[in-house]
Structures are given as structure tokens and as C-alpha cells.
Amino acid sequence: MTTPLIPPNAASSVALGRRLAPVGRRFIAAYVLGQLGLWTALLTPVTVSISLKVSQIAPDTKADSLGLVLSVGALLSMISTPIWGNLSDRTTSRFGRRRPWLAAGILVGTVGLAVIAAASSIPWVVVGWGIAQMGFNAAQAALNAILPDNVPEEQRGRVSGLVGFTSKVGTLIGTGLAALSAGSVGLMLLLPAVFGIAMIAVLVATLPDRPAERARLAPFRLLDIARSLWVNPFKHRDFGWAWAGRFLLFLGYSFFLTFQAYVITDHLGYSDNEAPSLIFYATLAATAGGLTTAVAGGRLSDRLRRRKIFVLTASVVMGLGLVVIGISTAYASFLVGATVVGLGMGTFLAVDMALVARVLPNPDNAAKDLGIFQIANSLPQSFAPLIAPLFLTIGSGNQNYPAAFLAGAVFALLGAAATVPIRAVR
């Protein structure tokens, strides 16, 4: 799972010579719906449908196969997003800089999901998810750039707050649609994408968008994209520790996000047809817990002017929830664990961006540096399924979920430990 951030190369409208007028409720509603639709289409496959598809095709090697699929997709996501963002900034189409990438991205992503739905082998699932990630991240790069393009500074906190919860709500909507599609993995993949197309269409129809001005465009160089993905962690130690803390905490969370379907089917004994509904209820519980602690934690953190204690608390709570999931022998205890994980993630999200804002190396390059932080969100989605078999195979067989989720809890706690050396934040 990823938090919406301004991409590294999104030029603001102020930089392009326009004063930004305040945006109205119609714009904000369309923008929130666009974010909601894209997260629904993108996160539902990660949460439920791809794992079930892989289980159908390769039941004996599903953990390794799932790791391969998600790892390739996450790698393509990290590589392609800054490229799409750069190209979007340079788009001179009469339809604007963002609209073409929003429309093409959501449609190409849906084509990728259709390839997965029709796949009869793991290589085709890999191809489909690679296409989906490339498409959806093209849309995401354009979508995130809409904030600096259109929203004045005095409204960005409000709009960002509304957008921040769209990934959680999108996952909830997607798992709900998957539950309604139980018995058809194809529908589980495509219904959330159709919802995403509808929401992006609303945004495209109402978005004020201008083409890039040719006279202002510098020569396009791939080397500039490579440079935008690096901050020296030795020179900027607080930045490096904050990045490591976020990466480790999201690595622990990715164990829950990626393997909850297999815990329900392999460990708790439910069928593949029952899994989508059970994942939906777990997602609902985790989302409700996360929203509660995110709102309360953010206010309390501002009042106390402290951030690190909330990260430490979030890591401990999330670790406890992961352990509960790992040792669950019944769905009721799994549900409790999912709720606790949600409480921990909400506590973290309440202070995460406030902490990050304090450790950025150069405020003039904030968008670029936030883009690097976004890698700490997406990379764990690749790394978790890649290393999970090391723990799943402890003992005999490949279903040692207690060991895997205990490892996830340890990663979450290490994320808290990485936050301690940060000097710029209390």
C-alpha cells in the first residue's frame, strides 16, 4: 500500500506563471473521487484477486509465484512513475498535460487486469500485472500532480487530508466488490477497474488543465530522472533514518496486505470462494481502526508537538496485531489482529508526513524528495513476498504463517528503532 504524494518532477502552476485561485467543492470532490477510483483499481488486486488467481494456477508454489508477480510489478512501478511524471509535465496536447495520462493510464491498467483474468500460467500473470502497474502508475503520476497544478497553498492541507484516506477507502470498496464477485476471479479483477474508470472519467470531465508551454520546456534527459531518485543518506542522516523507518514499517504491513488471503484459506481452512467476503470484513475493521487513530493521533501529536512517540507506538501496536494474525486459529482472532494492525497504521499515518516534512534536505526540492519517500511505500510490496518464503518454509512444508507474521512484527519494530536517531523531530 502507498500514500498519495506529489511526484518528483511535477512542476507547480505557480512555477508556470499562473496565480492559483481557490478551488471549490466541485473540484475537490472530483479530485477525491479520481484518487479513490484509482486506488480501488490498483490495490484490490494486491489485496485479494491476484493471490486467488495465483492460487488457482499454481497451488503448490503459490507463495513463490505471488512473490514473483508482485515483485516485478513493484519494480516496474518504481522505475516508470518518475518517467510518466516527467512526460506528463512535458505534454503539449490540446487536451492538457494531465487528462491524456489519466485516461490512457486507467485504460491500459484495466487491459493489464484483463490479461491476468484470462491468464492460464504464471508468466502471463506477470505480464498482465506489469502492464497494469505501468498503466495505473501513469495515471497516478498525473493525478498527484493535479494538487500543485491547481490547489493554492492555503488549501493544500485540507485537500491532502481528504486524499490521504482514499487508499484505505478504495481498498475497502475494492474488497467489497470482490466479495460480491465471489466465485469469479475475473470479475474480482475487473469490477474495481470499471469503478476506477468511472471515477477518473468524472475527474477528466471537470478538470481545468492546460498543455505545457513549449517555450518553457528544457531538453529531455534521462539522466535527470535518475538523479531525481537519489538523496545521500550519509549527508542527510535524518532523511535516511526516516526513509528506513518508513520502509521497515511498511515492510511489516505488507506481510498482512499480501498474505491475508492465504492465511484465511490455508491456515484457517476457508475456501477460495469464502475468502473475499472475509477479507472485506477484515479490511473494514482495519480501516475503521485506522481512521479513528489517524484523526485522534494527528490532533494529539500537534498538541504535544511530538512525532517519534507516535511512530514508536504505531510500530508496537502493528507488531502486536501481526503476531495475533500469525497465531490465529479462528477467523475471530484473525479479525482482532487485523483491527489492531489498522489501529497501528492509522497512528503512523497521523504523524508520518509531519515527520517527513521536518527532515527534507532542501525545501526547494520538496516534491523530488517526497517522491523518494514514496519508494519506501512501494518497495516493501515487492520485498515482502520475495522474502516471505524464507519464513514460511521454516520447519516442514510452506505454510508456517506464525513465523512469517512474527518476522513482519520484527520489521515493524525495527522501523520504530530507525526513527529514534532522528534529531530534527521530537
Is residue 384 in some structural domain?
A: yes
- Judgement on whether residues 347 and 329 belong to the same structural domain of the protein: yes
169 and 295 within one domain? no
From the list 320, 349, 322, 312, the residue with the least C-alpha distance to 408 is 322
The verdict on residue 394 lying in a domain is yes
Look at residue 20 and tell me if it is in a domain: no
Task: Work out the average pLDDT over 299-311.
Answer: 76
- Considering 49-63, 151-165, 192-206, 225-239, the range whose residues carry the highest mean pLDDT is 192-206
- Contact, 422 vs 238, CB < 8 A? yes
How high is the mean pLDDT of the chain? 81
What would the 3-class secondary structure string for 302-359 be?
Answer: HHHCCCHHHHHHHHHHHHHHHHHHHCCCCHHHHHHHHHHHHHHHHHHHHHHHHHHHHH
Asked if 224 and 238 sit in the same domain, the reply is: no
Per the domain annotation, does 237 fall within a domain? Answer: yes
Amino acid at 317: V
Q: Is the pLDDT of residue 418 over 80?
A: yes
260 and 211, same structural domain?
no
Q: Do both 304 and 196 map to the same domain? A: no
Average pLDDT over residues 223-234: 68
Residue 18 counted as domain residue: no
Same domain membership, residue 157 and residue 243: no
Rounded to the nearest 10°, the torsion over CA 414, 347, 289, 250 is -40
Domain that holds residue 381: 233-426
pLDDT above 70 for 298: no
Q: Which of 184, 214, 229 is the last residue of a domain?
A: 229
- Residue 303 sits in a domain of what CATH number? 1.20.1250.20
pLDDT tens sequence across 128-178: 999 999 999 889 888 877 877 777 766 665 666 567 677 778 888 998 898
For 335-372, what is each residue's pLDDT tens digit?
Answer: 999 999 989 888 887 677 667 666 767 654 444 565 57
Q: Give the confidence band of 6 by pLDDT, cuts at 50, 70, 90.
A: very low
Statement to judge: residues 328 and 191 lie in one domain: no
Residue 19 lies in a domain: no
Q: Between 295 and 191, whose confidence is greater?
A: 191
> How many domains does the chain divide into?
2
pTM: 0.71
